[in-house]
Amino acid sequence: TQLLEQSPQFLSIQEGENLTVYCNSSSVFSSLQWYRQEPGEGPVLLVTVVTGGEVKKLKRLTFQFGDARKDSSLHITAAQPGDTGLYLCAGAGSYQLTFGKGTKLSVIP
């Protein structure tokens, strides 16, 4: 079973601060996907990164895939209360999706 270590597990910051969430593994994935989940709802896809070294931007969110395709990071600039939620990384390969345990982000106004 492939494992994805996600850190930090919890993060509480003030509105306007920057933050980075990390997702690491010893396994190589064909892609790394980031999701956001609200309580009691299904995860919603934010982005998929496929190529080693790839960087994607989604407004204030920047996603990076490691050169070796084993790790990824999510950076949020100037966090807002609407960014509050559970952020999940997931590695894809061999028709399976392996999830990290998530980072619970709270942005305080």
Partner 1 sequence: EAQVTQNPRYLITVTGKKLTVTCSQNMNHEYMSWYRQDPGLGLRQIYYSMNVEVTDKGDVPEGYKVSRKEKRNFPLILESPSPNQTSLYFCASSWQENYGYTFGSGTRLTVV
Residue ranges in contact with partner 1 by CB under 8 A: 1, 30-31, 33, 35, 40-45, 47-48, 50, 88, 90, 92-93, 95-102
Nearer to partner 1, 83 or 91 (CB): 91
Nearer to partner 1, 20 or 98 (CB): 98
Nearer to partner 1, 81 or 101 (CB): 101
* Minimum distance of partner 1 from residue 72's CB (angstroms): 14
Can you tell me the distance from the alpha carbon of 54 to that of 52, in angstroms, rounded to the nearest whole number? 5
DSSP assignments along 2-47, one per residue: ---EEE-SEEEEETT--EEEEEE-SS--SEEEEEEE-TTS--EEEE
Nearer to partner 1, 85 or 109 (CB): 85
* Minimum distance of partner 1 from residue 74's CB (angstroms): 15
**Whole-Å CA distances, 90 to 7, 16, 50:** 13, 27, 12
